Every structure is written in C-alpha cells, then in structure tokens.
A and B are shown apart, each in its own frame.
Chain A
Amino acid sequence: NAGVMQNPRHLVRRRGQEARLRCSPMKGHSHVYWYRQLPEEGLKFMVYLQKENIIDESGMPKERFSAEFPKEGPSILRIQQVVRGDSAAYFCASSPKPGSNTGELFFGEGSRLTVL
C-alpha cells in the first residue's frame, strides 16, 4: 500500500517564477492537507481539500498561493511569483476522513522549495 507521494522532492526556482508541488494521497484517502515548515519551526497548516473542493484554506497566504485537488490526478499546490521567503519544506498529508478516531495524518516525504 503506497504511502503519500510527493513530487518533486526538491525544487529550485528563481524569484518571480512559479512553483508547482504535487501530492498523491494514500490509496483510499480522499482528504488532503498541505503543511509548510519554515526553518527552525513546526509545521503550519495551509489548506485542507477534498476531491474538487477546498474545505479550509485559512492557512494559505492571501496572494500567490493556490491549491486544488481535481477529480482525477494529484493535488497541486501552486505558488506564483515566488519570493525568497517561500523557501520551505511543503508537506502533504492525507487521511481517510477528517477528525478520525485517531486524528492521525499520513505525511509524504515533503517537497523542499528553494528560491534563489
């Protein structure tokens, strides 16, 4: 049973370019979450999606960031016009349903974005 798959694992972009990070949840999971980890900090919630729906994007910066989880294919986190402060590790997690009995999320290995 494959885990949460994220790609690319590493991405380098110059300021002003676009970054696209992809996440395929675990088989059977229809709930996807994106978290961001800045250096020396814990993971911060960004967005929660179900298929074709954004449920909660309260942790997303108001500009330049967007996320989607289409009916077919992986979830995409898109960052337009990247700036140096966007450099971070972006983790995707999935769960079979929200607020499950264990509250456990299954995380991918992360995508590390470096903005030059």
Chain B
Amino acid sequence: DQQVKQNSPSLSVQEGRISILNCDYTNSMFDYFLWYKKYPAEGPTFLISISSIKDKNEDGRFTVFLNKSAKHLSLHIVPSQPGDSAVYFCAARANDYKLSFGAGTTVTVRA
C-alpha cells in the first residue's frame, strides 16, 4: 500500500519563481518527514527534513511545511534555479529506520 503519495508527477516553473511540491501521507504514526533530490543516474541526496512536532522548517531557499491534521506536507523552493531541475521524493519515517517514499515529482525550471 502506498503510504506516501505525490500526486503531481511533474512540475514546470520559470526561473526565479516559486516551486511548490506537495505530498500526502496516510500513516498517522509517521513522525519524521524528509525530502530527497535526485538527478538522473545518481542516488537521492537529502535536502531538508521536518519533525512532526514542528510545522515549518527553513533552510535557505527551501522550506518544508507540515500540516499534521491534513496529513500533508509541502516543499517550497524560492527562487527556483535551473540547477533545481531534478526529481524530488517525499519520504516519511514512523519512529524507526524504514523510510517510505513517494513516487517523486519531476521539477523542470525554465530559463
């Protein structure tokens, strides 16, 4: 069963504008959420994370928002840059070692 869902397979955004990636989850036991970025032919690299006790975490151009009541999180990238073009995976953990991943959203930043 798919416990983490990224319903938008792709997103196209103009350079300098905001990219908003969405992620929904079903498991109420998830207590930690992460975003990974992946370039073609490379492994995923950690981008940013948030604990379930927070509703926002910011790191430079990247901000993750968590809405526990809606079981929804989002990643904001502002301003978007060409190097941000990649696949972004949402992942979640339920107080153990196992990460559940969404199917990914491919972001394309247009010049």
Q: A103-B34, A108-B43, A109-B43 are in contact. Are A40 and B103 (CB under 8 A)?
A: yes
Contacts of A69 in B (CB 8 A): none
Contact B101 A103 (CB under 8 A): no
Interface residues on B, range: 20 to 34
Contact A91 B96 (CB under 8 A): no
Q: Write the residues of chain B forming the contact surface with A, with a CB cutoff of 8 angstroms.
A: 4, 6, 32, 34, 36, 41-46, 49, 89, 93, 95-104
**Sample (27) of A-B pairs whose CB atoms are under 8 Å apart:** A4-B43, A33-B97, A35-B101, A40-B103, A42-B4, A42-B6, A42-B89, A43-B44, A43-B89, A43-B99, A45-B98, A48-B97, A55-B97, A98-B96, A99-B93, A99-B95, A99-B96, A102-B46, A102-B49, A103-B32, A103-B93, A104-B46, A104-B49, A105-B99, A107-B36, A107-B44, A107-B45
